[in-house]
């Protein structure tokens, strides 16, 4: 499982208080799946950015496991 650390509020979050929390609540209420989240990221043009951020923050063991899983596909 990939572990993601919670970060401080971004400038955008500070400019729009409560908006991010509202979006998160909506997604949780929908019980969103990975395919739908991927679709959302693509639609807002953030797929590449999220991939880079998650890869940079992931530990080595997680990266190795993901590469092995990818090779199995």
With a CB cutoff of 8 Å and minimum separation 6, the contacts of 47 are 38, 41
The answer to whether 64 touches 55, Cβ cutoff 8 Å, is no
Q: Full-prediction pTM beyond 0.85? A: no
pLDDT: which is higher, 22 or 3: 22
Give the tens place of pLDDT for each residue, 18-64.
999 999 999 999 999 999 999 999 999 999 999 999 999 999 999 99
DSSP structural state of residue 46: -
The pLDDT of residue 4 is 58
Kindly report the backbone phi and psi dihedral angles of residue 44, in degrees, each rounded to the nearest multiple of 5, phi listed first.
-95, 5
């Amino acid at each position: 499982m990939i572990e993601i650390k919670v970060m401080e509020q971004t400038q955008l979050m500070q400019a729009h208080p409560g908006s991010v929390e509202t979006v998160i609540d909506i997604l949780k209420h929908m019980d969103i799946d990975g395919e739908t989240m991927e679709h959302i990221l693509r639609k807002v043009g953030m797929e590449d950015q999220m991939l880079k951020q998650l890869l940079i923050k992931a530990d080595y063991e997680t990266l190795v496991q993901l590469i092995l899983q990818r090779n199995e596909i």
